[in-house]
Structure 1
């Protein structure tokens, strides 16, 4: 199968950076393109004590800038390889991140999703949840999970 539309979810983690590199390699080999997706999750970054005005004027713009910076850095990494690349920043209001990624893959026509994963097992996975696992189970296309390299895992 020739992957022409490769979707990569980026969150600033080392494994997401490795996923971007893998996606760029695949796109370069197949003549495909990469779409980088970041999901802003403002609910995860609020205490509940913020006034609505503070939330709208300070919290959301800060999260938007951070998401755009992640996407810009990843775009530069892919573009350096001569691979066509674009970016999408989504704001998550009430859905699971996994649902948003799968929905976007479907609507964009992705034929591969590439994700970084921490490879948590046991209780850590149960407590933290696994967006990567949920995406892999519900995606309409193949999902490539990129794990943290052994040298980096020791430092984490």
Structure 2
């Protein structure tokens, strides 16, 4: 295995995921890339017409500053995550779109040999209605997945 892709998000357990993924990569003498996906940035700050009797958005246009700010926050997050690993060779990639599809697409594009992810605990209702990103990845990928348990 030559390339380890580590998917992280803003949850504090991402530190544990990044550390475990980096240790795996070091043991395999593999390249490392930290990946963060902004889920459809265009929705941040979107202004909508009146709906269901709510007119709080009336007369407002799209707020592109909010979307840009979200991207800036994500870029800073990735710089800090890379700095945390204390290895200049670590690559970072920030992407936008559906989280599952974007992770799978970038993993293939980058040529990842293994994908490292955390197993966030969600409520039973969330799991029932939405599933988890890790579950969706496992259903659709041909790349081995290294899941880092993050429950306390």
Give the TM-score range, shorter chain: 0.7 to 0.9
Structure 1: gaps spanning 5 or more residues:
151-156
- List aligned pairs for 1:67-146, cutoff 5 A: 67-78=74-85, 80=86, 82=87, 84-92=89-97, 96-120=98-122, 122-146=124-148
Task: Count residues in correspondence.
Answer: 140
Q: Distance in 2 between matches of 1:77 and 1:141?
A: 26
Q: Distance in 1 between matches of 2:142 and 2:46?
A: 35
Task: Give SS of 2:95's match.
Answer: strand
Query: Is the 2:113–2:143 contact (alpha carbons within 8 Å) kept by the matching residues of 1?
Result: yes
Task: Give SS of 2:84's match.
Answer: helix
Q: Distance in 1 between matches of 2:99 and 2:47?
A: 20
2:49 is the alignment partner of 1:45: no
Higher helix share: 1
Question: Highest Rg: 1 or 2?
Answer: 2
Cα RMSD (Å): 2.0
TM-score calculated relative to the size of structure 1: 0.79
Deviations, residues 7-55 of structure 1 (Å, cap 9, x unaligned): 1111121222211001110111111111111111225534533513x2x
